[in-house]
Every structure is written in structure tokens, then in C-alpha cells.
Amino acid sequence: METLEGINASAGIGIGHVLVVEEPTLEYESRTVSDTEAEKQRFHAAIDGYVAYTQAQADQMAEQVGPKEAEILTGHIVMIADPYMQGEMEKLIDGGTCAEDALSQICDNFAAMFEATGDELTMQRATDIRDVKGGVLAELLNKRPVDISLVPQGTVLVTHDLTPSMTASIRPGTVVGIVTETGGMTSHSAILARAMEIPAVLSVENACKALADGVQVVVDGGRGTVTVEPDPDVLSAAQKESDRLAARQEELKRFVGCRTVTADGTRVELFANIGKPEDATQAMERDAEGVGLFRTEFLFMDSTSMPSEDEQFEAYKKAALICKGKPIIIRTLDIGGDKDIPYMGFEHEDNPFMGFRAVRYCLAREDVYRIQLRALLRASAFGDIRIMVPLVTCVDEMTAVRDLISRYMAEFDNEGVAYNKDIQIGAMIETPAAALMADELAKVCDFFSIGTNDLTGYTMACDRGNDRVRYLYSTYNPAVLRSIRNVITAGNEAGILVGMCGEAAANPLLIPLWVAFGLGEYSVNAASVLATRAAINRWSLDEAKAFAERIMELSTAAAVYEELKKIEEE
Amino acid sequence: MYSKTVTLVNPQGFHMRPASLFVAEVGKFSAPVKIVAKGNEIPGNSLMAIMAAGIKCGDEIEVKAEGEDEQAAVEAIVAFVESGMGD
């Protein structure tokens, strides 16, 4: 028995047998062919196989993830179908070149030409043509990746990185655990695993080598451990824990359809975080009372050009309609130089997290912001849409945004377009500056939502992705807790709703503090809605306040954590 | 042979979406169509070759066809390019 450690990215216990899914190596030996007709047949069979396989993947992707993601794959089919390009490859085969070389040379030529254009959009397509080359090569070499949709029940997937196409192929109930060699809490792999409620441990060094196909493992996604060939007592303990979690899930069902109240009956709101309009469906199914954070970046990242006002309007309207009149807080574009969106014209920055991003970018690029704000206003006619501004640091930013919105409202009045005249406009509180100025900001905001992830990072001046300083990144740190308390108090005194949309909102250890501080709205992952409702329900206001008083006297993150943990165990 | 010159109006140039629509338009005619851009001749049925040419907004291109429906082909394709090709 051996235990591997990694990042606890998606909670739960998975007991199953390993299947290592590795990207096939596409090495081959160049040959000269004499039967060129047969080689051309082999070449075309490979393309046909690739097209059929990719189309099936695209269909699955469209169904399980979304049509936008599927477009990437159908684009690959369009590329390889190019008759001129195929003709060039055939010419090489006619001259005695083997299919693998013909394919590689022509694809590499095109990739090089794309890169030489100097046009960002076309240069990006070079990656696509390399993907196509890899896919057709895999067909020629008979090394098609393992079809995950066919794996047996009780499979633990072990892979370098969980790709969207792998995710698309996972059938519910077959994969009981995921182990990867890369990725962190907020990586693509982690988000997908949590969305599918599959226990996952990420960043396990050399997992693909250390774990052999067929070996039994216990994946503990809550602790971040993978136990290889568990002893009988470990196995039975894991089984027990797994049963306990299932029972807990069952127990939580009694909170379905209930209002979210503290033990003494104080009502709070419990919303969900979403990244796409479709996610609102899951949020509603999981009994969220609204959407507390709708990240709009997907619209921009998934597109090759600036999404139009109509495209954005349709996306926001769709989400609003799914929410059926429940509140939906939509965060305006939160993006900067750390994200590569060619058409947005970001320049490289030495320190993008402190740089030209989010509301700073939007206020400087009114042409971009106008499109989004007008789309949001139009969609507000279809539900309780509220506008949230990210990375606010000063009062003037909020006033500037409000001025823009008033101007667009006047445009719509002239055009006779419907919108919600009382739309709420609030700030995401995620910088120390905003937390310190919360009382003044409250005068120009209809609500606050505390983004604990960035507030923790900016308050502690540390990058959570940097292994050397990650130890400082902790919401348990008294500096962060004081900051949060200050924001909630200021908001409540001004009579505006204060919510929280970071990971800390769903942390059962911290919930008594939020109850004591008077947090009015919790926005959590859809999967955590019921557990959060149950955790809030455990505390009465008086108990929580007495407890918080003790906690707030402590001076270190470690002491805070120890004390919170003690209570949890009581 | 029939040919005509037209200016590309797509703000982001001849990228994947307009190029695939262009190729579909070319496919409606029997006469083989070619584009001449920056002195290079590009097969009009090749999405990849068109994208690789890096034709930008404001660039002039010559559309030429040779075959039975050459005139109809060139006129229709030029009108299509002028319309902005769905962008």
C-alpha cells in the first residue's frame, strides 16, 4: 500500500481501478513507398476515420458541454476537408513519400504560413492545424486515443491533464475518480470534475507512471490522496466514508425547497455561481435562490472576434429566462493582460494582476463596455438582472460606470427599447482599497459582493499560483477576516445587500463568522447549495456572534483555523 | 477567362469564418476560381490557402474564373465579398 498526494480539487471518495489515458506518441519511421495508389487509399481511409471520430466527439461535446466548444472540433473537420491541401499531400505521395510524411510536411507548411501572416487570428489557427495533423497521424498509426465513453463502471481515470474532449466522453456513473499530473483548484480539470461531481486529486507527480492499469485505488478528493492497492482495513474505512458521504447527500435532501435561515430564523439569500447561461439550469435544479455571480468572460474567450450586442443580449436573456425572475448578478468583463484574447488588444504586462484589467480596461475602452452594458440593459427586461463591476478600487470608477449606464438608458428611451429602469448596480469587493472605502462606496452601490479569492490574494500580496508564497494565501488570515467584517458592516449600515461569491462563502468552517458579521447573501457552486444551507441553519445569530468574538481576537491564520476546526469537531 | 478586382471589407481580414463561406460560394459554380492577392495566385476552393495568404481588410484581390459559368461565378463572388461575407 502506498499513498500519493495531490491537490484536493473535487471532494468525495472514489474506489475503483486505474485506467491510464495517455496522449499517444506519434513517432514513426519515414519510408519510401512504391505502391502509391495503395498509400493514397490508406491516406484517405485515415482522413475518413479522423473525420468520423471528430464529428462524433463534436456531437458529444455539443450535447454535454456546449455548441461553442463543439465548433472548435467541427472547424478541424473543415480544415482537413480542404481539397487543395489534400491534393498537395497526394502529389507528395505520388512522388513516393509515405502518407505520414506527406501529411506532416503539408500541415507544417500551412502552420508556418499561418504564423508568418502576423495576424493574431490566423496565427492561432496554426495550433488547430497541428491538432489536425496529430489526429490524422494517430489514425494512420492506429493510435487513436482511448474512448472514455466505453470504460467500465468503477474506472479511475489517470491522465496528464483532463481535456474538454475527454470530459465530453465521460458517461455518468462509469468514472468514479480522476487523477491528473497537472492543474490546481481553479484549473479547467478541477472545475469540470466538480461540475460532474467526480472525486478528483490533481497535480499528483508522475501519476501516469506511478499508477498501472487495473490497480485498485482509493481516490479521496476531499483530502487530496490516492491510496494504491489499499489494505483491507483501509478499503473498508474508505467504503464507510463513501457511504457516510452518500448518506449525508441523502440527509441534505431535506433542505431542498426550504428557505435559507439561521437556527433562530434570520433569513439570508443563497445563490449559485455560474460561468455560462446553460449553467443556470443546474443552479436552479440544485435549488439556488438566484445567481450571485455570472462570469461573462466565456463569451469573449470562446469567440474569435468581439461578441456583438445581440450575441451578448441573447446569452444574458437566456440566463435570465432560466432564472424565472430570481435575481441574477452578472459581472461585467473581468479580464486583463494575463488572458490571451487577440482581438481585445491587450499588451504584455509585467504585472497583469495589478495592471490594465477589468473595470480599468472597460472604462478606457468605452467602445467595448458600451456593447456589454447595452446588452445587459436590454436583457434586464427579461428578469431581475443586476450589474456587478469587478476590481473596483475607487468611488470614481463606480460613478463613471453609473454615468455610462444612465447615458445608455437615455439612448434606449429614445429608441423605445425596453429595460429595467430600477436595475441594481453594485461593486465586487476584492481589493483592499475597496474594503477600506466600503462606507463611501456603499453610497454609490446598490449592493456589494465580496470576492474572497482575489481579496485574499491582494490583501496578503501573494500569488496563490506561486508555490513559494502560497502559504500566505489563506482566508483564515485575520487581516482578510477583518477586511470582510468591515465591508459587511459598512454595507449593512448603509442598508444595501452584502453578498459573498468567493470559495469562502461555502466553507462550513467560516460560515459561523459570516453569520455573525451579518452577511446577507451567499453565492456558491451549484453542488454546494444544499450543504451551505444546512451549515447556515446550524448557527443562531447569538451563538455565532459569541464564537466570532473569540475568533477575531486571534492574531494568526493558524490559530484561527485551529479554533474553527475545534468547533466543527464538537 | 473573366476577372474582376474587389476590396476586402472584413474588419478582421480573411479569417476562418469568411474564408469557409467564400469557399462554399465558389463551390456553387463549375468554373474553377482563383484569387490573385499580393501577386500570388491562390486556389479559390482552398480555405487553407486563402487563410495562409493573410489577406487583410482593405487589401485588393482579383477574382478570376475560367469555364462555362465564369462570368456568373465572378460577379456572384465579387458581390459576396463586397457584402462582407457574413461578418
Coil vs helix vs strand at A28: coil
Contact flag A83-B48 (C-beta cutoff 8 Å)? no
Burial class (CB within 10 angstroms; exposed 0-12, middle 13-18, buried 19+) of A370: middle
Instruction: Tell me, rounded to whole angstroms, the distance of Cα A6 from its chain centroid.
Output: 19
CA-CA distance, A177 to A157, in Å (whole number)? 6
**Domains of chain A, with CATH numbers?**
2-23+147-251 (3.50.30.10), 36-140 (1.10.274.10), 263-569 (3.20.20.60)
Give phi and psi for B80, each to the nearest 5: -65, -40
Contact flag B16-A75 (C-beta cutoff 8 Å)? yes
- Chain B: give the shortest CA distance to residue A304, in Å: 9
| Sequence-separated contacts (24+) of A434-439 with Cβ below 8 Å | A434/A392, A434/A393, A434/A487, A435/A459, A435/A483, A435/A484, A435/A486, A435/A487, A436/A483, A436/A486, A437/A394, A437/A395, A438/A486, A438/A487, A438/A490, A438/A491, A439/A490, A439/A493, A439/A494
Instruction: Tell me if B76 is assigned to some domain.
Output: yes
| Complex ipTM tops 0.90 | yes
What is the 8-class DSSP label of residue A227?
A: E
Which among B20, B43, B52 has CB closest to A113? B52
Task: List the single residue in B with minimal CA-CA distance to A126.
Answer: B52
C-alpha cell at A288: 439556488
C-alpha cell at A215: 490497480
Instruction: Tell me if B33 is assigned to some domain.
Output: yes
CA-CA distance, A432 to B38, in Å (whole number)? 54
10-residue mean pLDDT profile of chain A (570 residues): values are 90 93 83 94 95 87 70 88 95 96 96 87 83 91 78 91 70 88 73 81 92 94 94 94 87 89 96 88 89 91 86 94 95 82 83 92 95 97 97 98 97 95 97 98 98 95 86 95 98 98 92 97 93 95 95 96 85
Strands of the sheet with A175-180, listed across from one edge: A2-5, A225-228, A216-220, A13-21, A155-159, A175-180, A200-202, A7-10
Which among A79, A110, A119 has CB closest to B13? A119
CB contacts of B54 in chain A (<8 Å) are 116-119, 122
Q: Which pLDDT tens digit goes with each residue over A159-185?
A: 988 765 577 678 767 899 999 998 776
How many beta-carbon pairs under 8 angstroms link A with B?
Answer: 53
Instruction: Tell me if B87 is assigned to some domain.
Output: no
Contact flag A117-B49 (C-beta cutoff 8 Å)? no
Which among A84, A110, A118 has CB closest to B54? A118
Query: Is the Cβ–Cβ distance between A393 and A434 less than 8 Å?
Result: yes
pLDDT, position A65: 62
CB contacts of B53 in chain A (<8 Å) are 117
pLDDT, position A551: 96
Query: Is the Cβ–Cβ distance between A465 and A428 less than 8 Å?
Result: no
Query: What domain range includes position B78?
Result: 2-82
Contact flag B46-A85 (C-beta cutoff 8 Å)? yes
Query: Is the Cβ–Cβ distance between A394 and A354 less than 8 Å?
Result: no
Coil vs helix vs strand at B78: helix
CA-CA distance, A34 to A541, in Å (whole number)? 84
Of residues A438 and B85, which shows the higher confidence score?
A438
Q: Determine the residue type at A569.
A: E
C-alpha cell at A122: 490566423
CA-CA distance, B23 to B86, in Å (whole number)? 13
Contact flag A83-B52 (C-beta cutoff 8 Å)? no
Strand A13-21 versus strand A216-220 pairing type: antiparallel
CB contacts of A83 in chain B (<8 Å) are 45-46
pLDDT, position B34: 95
Q: Which of A166, A161, A135, A134 is nearest to A148 (CA)?
A: A166
Instruction: Tell me if B27 is assigned to some domain.
Output: yes
Contact flag B13-A121 (C-beta cutoff 8 Å)? yes
- Chain A: give the shortest CA distance to residue B72, in Å: 23
Q: Determine the residue type at A482.
A: R
Picking from A119, A127, A133 by the largest number of B CB atoms within 10 A of its own CB, the best residue to mutate is A119
CA-CA distance, A172 to A169, in Å (whole number)? 10
CB contacts of B49 in chain A (<8 Å) are 82, 84-85
* Domain count across chain B: 1
Tell me the DSSP string of A153-216: TTEEEEESS--HHHHHHPPTTTEEEEEESS--TTSHHHHHHHHHT--EEE--TTHHHHS-TT-E
Q: Which pLDDT tens digit goes with each residue over B26-84?
A: 999 999 999 999 888 999 999 999 999 999 888 999 999 999 999 999 999 999 999 98
pLDDT, position A520: 97
Residues in chain B: 87
- From the list B3, B4, B9, B15, the catalytic residue is B15
Instruction: Check if B15 is active-site.
Output: yes
Give phi and psi for A535, each to the nearest 5: -65, -40
- Chain B: give the shortest CA distance to residue A135, in Å: 17
CB contacts of A79 in chain B (<8 Å) are 47-48
Contact flag A114-B52 (C-beta cutoff 8 Å)? yes
Instruction: Tell me if B9 is assigned to some domain.
Output: yes
CB contacts of B37 in chain A (<8 Å) are none
* CATH classification at residue B70: 3.30.1340.10
